[in-house]
Amino acid sequence: MTVEYSPLKSNNGFQSPGFSVDSSGNVTMDGNLLVDGDATVNGVLFVDNIQFADQETGRIFNIIEDDDSVLTLSSTITNSHLKNLGILEKLEVDGDVYIGIASTNFLSIDNGTLVINSSEVGSLDNIEIGQNTPADAAFVVATASSQPTDLNHLTRKDYVDTRVSAFAIAFGA
């Protein structure tokens, strides 16, 4: 004998305790939706929060937190491997920052100190470092190789010494 399955149909929707489907197909439910397997969703509106369960431990955690009307990623998300972001308009980091590859930091901000590690010689153009007022500086070694060619260039001591000697001889001092 052949069994014929006929899906349950209704023009007015379905209803049971904690679960209803209206005539447009909208599902309203109290409780949790549990899916054992894959789920394909074209559009989702989460009114309260998004939670996932760890398959190994069964621990449930929030993905999005909505504290004080600000949407944030949950503090339980750590060591994320973000693949797609789009346009990042602002990045606010509360704590230290480390940027690098394979445990080698190229740029780090550790306790407010900026460290740039590079195997290549580079330059910083149009960068302001420090406060707007000048500060004192002390160097252990400072090296300069070029002779001054413009009026606003700094001069080396040996350049000044030779010029002063030449002027002293020329003016008979």
Residue 56 domain flag: no
Token pair of 60 as six digits: 């449930």
Question: Is the separation of the CB atoms in 154 and 144 below 8 Å?
Answer: yes
Confidence check: pLDDT of 15 > 80:
yes
Residue 170 domain flag: no
Confidence check: pLDDT of 130 > 70:
no
Confidence check: pLDDT of 85 > 60:
no
Residue 173 domain flag: no
pLDDT at 83: 61
Average of per-residue pLDDT values in the chain: 77
Residue 43 domain flag: no
Q: What is the pLDDT of residues 136-147, one digit of tens each?
A: 778 888 776 777
pLDDT at 142: 75
* Distant-in-sequence, close-in-space partners of 33: CB < 8 Å, separation ≥ 6: none
Residue 110 domain flag: yes
DSSP structure string for 78-146: -S--------------SS-EEEEETTEEEEEEETTEEEE--SS-----S---S-SS------S-----S
* Among 93, 124, 95, 96, residue whose Cα is nearest residue 108: 96
Cα distance between residue 30 and residue 19, in whole Å: 6
Q: What is the pLDDT of residues 95-113, one digit of tens each?
A: 888 888 877 888 888 888 8
Question: Domain range spanning residue 102?
Answer: 95-119
Residue 163 domain flag: no
Q: What is the pLDDT of residues 18-55, one digit of tens each?
A: 888 888 888 888 877 777 888 787 776 666 666 777 77
**Position of tokens 């797609």?**
84
For residues 160-168, give the mean pLDDT.
79
Report the domain count for the chain: 1
Residue 57 domain flag: no
Residue 107 domain flag: yes
